[in-house]
Chains A and B, each alone.
Chain A
Amino acid sequence: MTKYWEEEKECMSRSDLEQLQLERLQSTLFRVTTHVPFYRKKFKEEGIDPDGFTSLADLSKLPFTTKDDLRHNYPYGLFAVPLRDIVRLHASSGTTGMATVVGYTKNDLKTWSTMVARIMTAAGVTNDDVVQIAFGYGMFTGGFGLHYGAERLGASVIPISSGNTKRQIQIIQDFRTTTMVCTPSYALVLADAMAAMDININALSLKFGLFGGEPWSEQMRREIETKLHIIATDNYGLSEVMGPGVAGECLERNGLHINEDHFLVEIINPETLEPMPAGEVGEVVVTTLTKEGFPVIRYRTRDLARIIDAPCACGRTLRRLSRIIGRTDDMLIIKGVNVYPMQIEAILFDIQGIGPHYQIIVEREGRLDKVQVLVEVVEGIFFDQMKKQRQLVDHIKKRLAAELGIGVEVKLVEEKTLERSAGKAKRVIDKRSQTRE
């Protein structure tokens, strides 16, 4: 089995890697200052001489680029090549707010598929696999990104796109799909649907699942792996930077190897904007090193994670990114306490008797914040036994209060009453902003 896609890059020594990163960063800076007025102006305003850039540590002197910068330059303002050289356009999935446009040159597409082939190889996929891509195709980078990577790898690709769960299951059975590519929440939708249809999971050919597009938890991984009998790996990317392929887990399933020869990743404190001490959680900031069409300098992803510096048993020397534990913009400040939905999810998955689906509703009663967590129970167990029900609610409440440091309401709801999503799941409903206006 091929273990690496580009061994000489994935197992590079740190000093060789840093040399390569410096070279690439210097020419990226040259190109953005020459070709992108936005960066030229910004560097000039902040008195930065891109020629004076001599070490990777100098990166912290450069200004950040934000989603707003991308929006203000909609659609093509940040492209570093003429439109004639752009061969593909994508738009961000617009999870939050207005879409942003990104462009790729021929070389960018080549790099992109190589990056995805790397993470797929790391996740165990080979050219013998049948890969079913249930990410949405179209403007979203997920579908096409994984598609071309899987093709580069030589796998058999099923471009089924998202939705239509029955058909997905039919294809998994008939085409003997070995690898599922979708959001983790959709993997659970598939698992539940197959359970409801009494499908024998052992009769399927599924071996691997590559999940991304939304934050998920270790408990959710265990649940997916148990229910679908697959090895589930996480991968990370965002369209503003390239799309999927920025980082991906190897079979050790303990952090996502960053493709550091193409992306420089920093972790900063989202409030002070200073670099976080090594190994601590903060906002992920990415600088592209090889992109031609749409290079970005210190892009603030708003994703929260930490960097794992320890060597990995798989032999890759590329450092790892922890799972994304949340987003700076879905951090809830409840009664003055910072709460990430992923913390709540982690606890819920740990408790017996409740399903993987939940919703967090935040309201304001008078001057006080109130949080209610709706949790689906499995199989309608003990809906007839009020006492046990109350015990379960109390147990969940206690666990949540211990972890979060604030009290929350918990309400059990019947199975399948919460909204299912084929794409990114909507876990949080914050009604406070509406009340405020």
Chain B
Amino acid sequence: MLKIRNLESGYGKLRVLKKISMHVDAGEIVTLIGANGAGKTTLLSTIAGLSRASGGDIVLFDQNLKSSAPQEIVKAGCSLVPEGRQVFATMRVEDNLILGGYVQYQRSKGYCQSAELAAIYDIFPVLKERRDQLAGTLSGGEQQMLAMGRALMAGPKLIMMDEPSTGLAPLIVRDIFQIILHLREAGNTVLLVEQNAKSALAIADRGYVLETGKIILQGPAADLLGNTDVQRAYLGRDVDAATATCDI
């Protein structure tokens, strides 16, 4: 579905992504893990067209998106749930959602998205309850759901999520991950960027490990969970200490 080859991107003179190659197949949850500053968010915003790629290719369904504008990329079927939710705090929940579906706006028909809205409310009943509230009054978890719902309104084939668990209580994080699994079961394809490597790998099919702008490891999520380098660097497990304890 999505194929990225030798992608390079950065800010000014700073090269952040160094020849990234990766792909996402239809129906998969693929996770991108890595430490702070590895380039995860840059990668997502480059795919979404918010940062300009300086080299390489981004191909979604045989369509090269490298030089497309963000709104064209959304139309091509790729939506982003940005880091830190970025909901419009002073707008109603429902208006936030309707804005997410702007690509389907037709001058003759206006905004007629009751079917899409109903589908989103099915997945996130809490949003229906709070449809008339201002988005800024929602809790962190609800805002995350709103951000996800807003992205889904565009009817994406690929949904990219940037750190959906940031700043949320562990129980809420579990709900969010359940929803991601649910989205996949409903036929969606998910590219998930996470610092919470363990939870991300637990629900993902495959993973890529990003370090200082390069993909250093990749494979089935279960294999990455079993890889000692990943354990040491991203899962917070002190392998040396564990071995030492075993020796005693």
Contact = CB atoms under 8 A, between A and B. Distances in A.
Interface of A: 16, 19-20, 22-24, 26-27, 30-31, 34, 51-54, 81-82, 84-85, 105-107, 110, 290, 292
Contacts of A54: 5-6, 19
Contacts, number: 53
Nearest to B227: A107
B217 interface: yes
B219 interface: yes
Contacts of B23: 16, 19-20, 23
A54 B6 CA distance: 6
Nearest to A85: B228
Interface string B187-205: 0000000000000000000
Given A22-B21, A107-B226, A107-B227, A290 B219 contact: yes
A27 B217 contact: yes
Interface of B: 3, 5-6, 18-19, 21-23, 25, 214-219, 223, 226-229, 239, 243
A24 B18 CA distance: 15
Nearest to A31: B216
Contacts of B218: 23-24, 27
A53 B228 CA distance: 26
Contacts of A53: 19
Contacts of A31: 216-217
Nearest to A81: B228
Contact of B219 (A22, A52, A106, A107): A107
A27 B215 contact: yes
Contacts of B5: 19, 22, 54
A400 B5 CA distance: 53
A20 B19 CA distance: 15
A105 B227 CA distance: 9
A20 B183 CA distance: 25
Contacts of B25: 16
A173 B229 CA distance: 49
A329 B217 CA distance: 36
Given A84-B243, A107-B226, A23 B215 contact: yes
Given A19-B5, A51-B214, A26 B21 contact: yes
Contacts of B6: 54
Nearest to A52: B19
A85 to B, nearest CB: 5
Nearest to A30: B216
Contacts of A105: 227-228
16 contacts: A19-B21, A22-B21, A23-B23, A23-B215, A30-B216, A31-B217, A34-B216, A51-B214, A52-B19, A53-B19, A54-B5, A84-B228, A85-B228, A105-B227, A106-B226, A107-B227
The 10 nearest A-B residue pairs measured at CB: A54-B6, A23-B21, A107-B223, A85-B228, A19-B23, A19-B3, A22-B21, A30-B216, A27-B215, A26-B21
Contacts of A24: 218
A292 B216 CA distance: 12
Contacts of B227: 105, 107, 292
A30 B226 contact: no
Contacts of B223: 107, 110
A20 B229 CA distance: 22
Contacts of A30: 214-216
A30 B3 CA distance: 20
B216 A27 contact: yes
Given A51-B18, A81-B228, 7 more contacts: A16-B25, A23-B218, A27-B215, A84-B228, A84-B243, A85-B228, A107-B226
Contacts of B217: 27, 31
